[in-house]
Amino acid sequence: MSFERPRVVFAYDFDGTLAPGNMQEHAFIPDELGMNHQDFWEETKVLAKAQRGDPILAYMHLMLSKARERGRELSLESWRRRGASIPLFPGVEGWFERQNARAEELQLDLRHFIISSGNRELIEGSPIARHFERIYASAFMFDEEQDAIGIALGVNYTSKTQYLFRINKWTLEEWDDAAINRAVAKDDRPVPFDRIAYFGDGTTDVPTMRLVTDQGGSAVAVYNPRSPKSMAAALELRDDGRAHLAGPGDYSEGSPLDQLAQALLAEMAARAHARNLVQWPEQPSG
């Protein structure tokens, strides 16, 4: 597979990276479930431990079961409406087109992805959803009436790495377990890891950051400068060797994070274009 311009990728976690806090805490848990969000997450831990299950699947189960108990709407559109009110970090809404324009000037084909343990349906309702090539996130299963009836996909801290390989091989469909497992030589993969930058903020990003860093890509720790917990998490990512780059959660033009993105694109362009200029001699005959 070949592309007219070298393809590069910015991939992002969502909660704590593009938006402060957890997406379920802004309205759904306190307003629709009538719960303190700390109580909700504690119940999630208890359920996961009791069932020897995945905390991601446990929180999604509780979202559905508690919403049903309270008679809340479960349609796909209702979840997307909930996502429309999620607050974002400063400058996020203008970030994607700005980076795309810079990539265009550098003759790069920049694509944006979400890789999140949050809810896909909520992210799909956010004002930035249209900018993403794919939103890889935990998702509900819907019946013919488009009402949520179960869990279709759970994305946890280790399964996030799967989606980096999907991007690397450009086999993007979540359900396709044949293409993702097909052997493809490293040099033949459409998006080499050194053309991937991953932006994350915490524990669920650790394996993803480790993978992209070890494979020659860039891992960027994003933190909330108003949150000591968030800043401590960023320092831990640095000290443990998971992320070598960082910036506060301000995506406005000229911010440190914006300047860092500009430098990453320039670095990717130099590397990609240099690779395209390589010309080896032909094999001597005789």
Asked if pLDDT for residue 285 goes beyond 80, the answer is no
In the chain, the domains with their CATH numbers are: 7-21+89-276 (3.40.50.1000)
Segment 219-238, tens digit of pLDDT? 999 999 999 999 999 999 99
- What pLDDT, on a 0 to 100 scale, did the predictor assign at position 275? 80
pLDDT-based confidence at 4, cuts 50/70/90? confident
- Over residues 94-115, the mean pLDDT reads 97
Asked if pLDDT for residue 152 goes beyond 70, the answer is yes
pTM over 0.85: yes
Could you please report the per-residue DSSP string of the chain? ---SS-EEEEEE--BTTTBSS-GGGTTIIIIIS---HHHHHHHHHHHHHHHT--HHHHHHHHHHHHHHHTT---BHHHHHHHHTT----TTHHHHHHHHHHHHHHTT-EEEEEEEEEEEHHHHHTSTTGGG-SEEEEEEEEE-TT-BEEEEEE---TTTHHHHHHHHHHT---TT-TTTTTS---GGG-SS-GGGEEEEE-SGGGHHHHHHHHHTT-EEEEEE-TT-HHHHHHHHHHHHTTS-SEEEES--STTSHHHHHHHHHHHHHHHHHHHHHT--PPPPPP-
- What pLDDT, on a 0 to 100 scale, did the predictor assign at position 160? 94
- What pLDDT, on a 0 to 100 scale, did the predictor assign at position 274? 87
Asked if pLDDT for residue 56 goes beyond 60, the answer is yes
- What pLDDT, on a 0 to 100 scale, did the predictor assign at position 2? 47
Segment 75-86, tens digit of pLDDT? 999 999 999 999
Segment 13-36, tens digit of pLDDT? 999 999 998 999 988 999 999 999
Least confident of 39-48, 145-154, 270-279: 270-279
pLDDT-based confidence at 1, cuts 50/70/90? very low
- What pLDDT, on a 0 to 100 scale, did the predictor assign at position 286? 60
